[in-house]
């Protein structure tokens, strides 16, 4: 990079750090950071403690790392080809593109901006594997170098796609995106296998990564796996230097490709900025990804049933939005099943464990189901003008996401029951108990959104509500069992108590909705 770009990169990074610490003066952000760091430390400590007790653990760190980074190396050029251009912020587009900067300098600047995220991403597998990995510092360095190689491959494919003619590119883009999505789901399955000792695709992927062809074509991933073995073949210095040489060599193609990427990058950057804005406004992944889509939306007929009148019309409108977002909902469901089912279908789990895991579904699906107040940006004035009580509007808004999550929880419970992990009766009782709990958590998400929280603020409220609710229910269960109540009585009392909590949450949500300034037509 030229000197002005180096100055811009360093200054931008320094100002970003200053803004981060300045925002910590707000108590909400400071508490959210403390809770997040505590959660990460808890996960790391739990993984380390669990691995220390497994002398014969079934998780092989070397095989898992080979499979994970091998898939990353395969998916990187595919995702880059589907992008066709480089993504910059709109401010960078306005400042850098008209400036006297060479194309190679802009490519280097783009790569440099991704370095912090790559370094953090390289530590994620080590965090999930816990203490199973020897020499974590050296292994992290190897993971970072492989991630850097994958980033170079992605940028090379993005620039190469500009050489492909438009008709051919349109025919190839669909299959490439499909393969990328399938590969991403498999990558999630590998991550899930790192923290489970049962099920998953770990055995198949481990065997595929050890194949002779894979060891040649995916040599960087193989080297990372070798570094994660107690006795690394070839030592440590040689493989690390080899990875560094490959990382430098992989930087040459994107710098040598002579292609005018500015025009395509302007369009791609504008689309990325619009997607970020839509996500920040709570439009959801499906609505955000529809930016620039030429897909036609058919008009829907208004229902005639009495159920969909009054507040029911709000639920019908949200159900229509959910029906038009089936692709996002499907992949969210697949990722949930990959994360939760493999570790339980063959484990000897108590009936309470699947119930507790299923109760977390609203937390993991919060970003994929904005069919409530989070998708009402621009419509709050119209909602307030409706001749309906605030609590009725609040209840109608949470119906659709609650129903979708309950459907996922039912599928999850059936999968466990069919696999023989938990009796069907326990699954049915657990699902009944989850109905008011799930609705309460969806209401908590909307309360946080209407209160002005975003991202970690919503996650913080979710975790606090989940913990407080768990303490309350544990006390109730203890009292019912102390008086000799059986499983049926416990479930009935839990449903009654949680229903009372749900009524209170809906009332609070109605109050939060009433506090939204209709003149601004958006949450604070």
For 107-117, how does the pLDDT look when each residue is reduced to its tens digit (9 = 90+)? 888 888 888 88
Please tell me the predicted confidence (pLDDT) of residue 93.
84
Consecutive H or E run containing 178: helix 166-194
Q: Which residue has the tokens 């789990």?
A: 349
Instruction: Please report whether residue 12 resides in a domain.
Output: no
Count of other CB atoms within 10 angstroms of residue 501? 19
Instruction: Please report whether residue 26 resides in a domain.
Output: no
What CA–CA distance (Å, rounded) separates 319 from 110? 40
**Residue pair 218/368 in contact by the 8 Å Cβ criterion:** no
**Residue pair 140/123 in contact by the 8 Å Cβ criterion:** yes
Handedness of CA 351, 356, 357, 361 (dihedral sign): positive
What's the total number of domains in the chain?
Answer: 2
Indicate whether 276 and 415 sit together in one domain: no
Residue after which a domain boundary falls, among 244, 260, 280: 280
**Residue 485 — pLDDT band, cuts 50, 70, 90?**
confident
Indicate whether 263 and 317 sit together in one domain: no
Indicate whether 228 and 359 sit together in one domain: no
Indicate whether 244 and 330 sit together in one domain: no
Indicate whether 463 and 315 sit together in one domain: yes
What CA–CA distance (Å, rounded) separates 408 from 270? 35
Indicate whether 380 and 242 sit together in one domain: no
Instruction: Please report whether residue 362 resides in a domain.
Output: yes
Q: Report how far Cα 484 is from the mean position of its chain's Cα atoms.
A: 43
Instruction: Give the tens place of pLDDT for each residue, 254-284.
Output: 888 777 788 788 888 888 777 767 655 555 5
Q: What tokens were used for 314? A: 């709000």
Instruction: Please report whether residue 25 resides in a domain.
Output: no
Instruction: Please report whether residue 1 resides in a domain.
Output: no
Give the best-scoring range by mean pLDDT among 333-342, 416-425, 450-459, 480-489.
480-489
Mean pLDDT over residues 295-324, rounded? Answer: 76
The whole domain housing 489 covers 285-290+308-520
- Largest Cα–Cα distance in the chain? 80
Instruction: Please report whether residue 17 resides in a domain.
Output: no
What CA–CA distance (Å, rounded) separates 307 from 313? 8
Task: Answer whether residue 415 shows pLDDT above 80.
Answer: no
**Residue 197 — pLDDT band, cuts 50, 70, 90?**
very low
Indicate whether 276 and 312 sit together in one domain: no
Residue after which a domain boundary falls, among 262, 280, 298: 280
Task: Answer whether residue 463 shows pLDDT above 50.
Answer: yes
Indicate whether 204 and 60 sit together in one domain: yes
**Residue 83 — pLDDT band, cuts 50, 70, 90?**
confident
**Residue pair 193/60 in contact by the 8 Å Cβ criterion:** no
What CA–CA distance (Å, rounded) separates 236 from 241? 9
Indicate whether 179 and 111 sit together in one domain: yes
Instruction: Please report whether residue 398 resides in a domain.
Output: yes
Q: Which residues contact 480 (CB under 8 A, 6 or more apart)?
A: 489, 490, 493
To the nearest 10 degrees (0 to 180), the angle between helices 399-419 and 390-397 is: 40
Indicate whether 423 and 340 sit together in one domain: yes
Please tell me the predicted confidence (pLDDT) of residue 145.
92
Task: Answer whether residue 1 shows pLDDT above 60.
Answer: no
Q: Enter the DSSP assignment of 237.
A: H
Q: What is the pTM of this model?
A: 0.64
Indicate whether 140 and 239 sit together in one domain: yes
Instruction: Please report whether residue 81 resides in a domain.
Output: yes
Indicate whether 244 and 326 sit together in one domain: no
């Amino acid at each position: 990079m030229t000197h002005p770009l180096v100055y811009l990169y360093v200054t931008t990074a320094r100002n970003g750090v200053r803004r981060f610490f300045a925002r910590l003066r707000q108590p909400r952000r400071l508490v959210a950071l403390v809770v997040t760091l505590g959660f990460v430390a808890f996960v790391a400590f739990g993984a380390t403690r669990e691995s220390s007790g497994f002398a014969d653990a079934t998780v092989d760190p070397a095989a898992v790392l080979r499979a994970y980074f091998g898939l990353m190396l395969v998916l990187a050029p595919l995702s880059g080809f589907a992008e066709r251009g480089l993504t910059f912020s709109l401010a960078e587009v306005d400042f850098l593109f008209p400036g006297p900067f060479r194309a190679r300098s802009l490519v280097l600047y783009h790569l440099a901006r991704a370095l912090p995220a790559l370094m953090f991403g390289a530590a994620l597998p080590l965090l999930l594997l816990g203490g199973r990995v020897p020499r974590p510092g050296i292994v992290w360095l190897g993971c970072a170098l492989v991630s850097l190689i994958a980033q170079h491959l992605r940028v090379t494919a993005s620039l190469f796609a500009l050489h492909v003619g438009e008709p051919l590119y349109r025919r190839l883009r669909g299959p490439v995106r499909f393969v990328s999505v399938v590969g991403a789901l498999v990558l999630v399955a590998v991550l899930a296998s790192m923290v489970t000792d049962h099920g998953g695709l770990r055995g198949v992927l481990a065997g595929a990564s050890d194949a002779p062809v894979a060891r040649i074509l995916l040599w960087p991933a193989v080297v990372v796996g070798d570094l994660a073995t107690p006795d690394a073949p070839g030592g440590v210095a040689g493989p690390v230097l080899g990875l560094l040489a490959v990382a430098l060599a992989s930087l040459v193609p994107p710098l040598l490709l002579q292609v005018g990427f500015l025009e395509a990058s302007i369009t791609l950057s504008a689309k990325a900025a619009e997607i970020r804005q839509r996500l920040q406004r709570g439009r959801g992944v499906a609505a955000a990804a529809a930016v620039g889509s030429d897909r036609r939306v058919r008009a829907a007929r208004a229902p005639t049933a009495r159920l969909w009148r009054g507040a029911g019309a709000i639920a019908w409108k949200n159900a229509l939005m959910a029906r038009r977002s089936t692709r996002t909902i499907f992949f969210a469901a697949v990722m949930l099943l990959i994360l939760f089912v493999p570790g339980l279908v063959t484990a000897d789990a108590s009936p309470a464990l699947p119930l507790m895991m299923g109760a977390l579904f609203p937390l993991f699906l919060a970003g994929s189901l904005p069919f409530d107040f989070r998708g009402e940006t621009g419509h709050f004035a119209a909602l307030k003008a409706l001749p309906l009580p605030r609590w009725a509007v609040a209840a109608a808004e949470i119906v659709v996401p609650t129903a979708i999550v309950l459907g996922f929880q039912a599928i999850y419970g059936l999968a466990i029951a069919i696999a023989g992990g938990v009796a069907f009766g326990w699954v049915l009782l657990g699902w009944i108990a989850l109905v008011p709990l799930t609705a309460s958590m969806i209401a908590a998400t909307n309360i946080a959104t209407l209160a002005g929280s975003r991202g970690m603020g919503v996650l913080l409220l979710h975790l606090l509500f989940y913990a407080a609710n768990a303490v309350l229910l544990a006390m109730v269960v203890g009292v019912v069992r102390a008086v000799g109540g059986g499983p049926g009585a416990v479930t009935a009392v839990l449903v009654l108590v949680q229903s009372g909590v749900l009524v209170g949450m809906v009332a609070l949500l109605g109050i939060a909705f009433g506090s939204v300034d209709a003149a601004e037509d958006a949450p604070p």
